[in-house]
Amino acid sequence: MTTTLLAQPFTRAIVAPPGPSFAHGLTTRALGAPALDLALAQHARYCEALGRAGLEVTVLPADPEHPDATFVEDTAVVAAGLAVLCRPGAASRRGEVARMRDVLGPRFAGLASIEPPGTLDGGDVCQVGRHFFVGLSARTDAEGARQLARALERAGYTASTIDVRDWPDALHLKSAVAWLGGARLLVREAQALEPAFAPFERVIVPTREAYAANCLWLGRTVLVAADHPVTEARLRALGYAVEPLAMTEMEKMDGGLSCLSLRY
Q: Which amino acid is it at 209? A: E
Q: How far apart are CA 262 and CA 258, in angstroms?
A: 8
Sheet with strand 262-263: strands edge to edge: 56-59, 12-15, 262-263
User: Closest Cα partner for 27 from 64, 72, 67, 86?
Assistant: 67
Burial 139-163 (b: 16+ CB within 10 A, else e): bbbebbbbbbbebbeebebebebbe
Q: Do 122 and 75 contact (CB within 8 A), yes or no?
A: yes
Residues serving a catalytic function are 172, 259
Q: What are phi and psi of 78, to 5 degrees?
A: -125, 145
Q: Do 216 and 178 contact (CB within 8 A), yes or no?
A: yes
Q: How far apart are CA 115 and CA 97, in angstroms?
A: 12
**DSSP 3-state of 107:** coil
Q: Please, which residues bridge with residue 160 across strands? A: 133
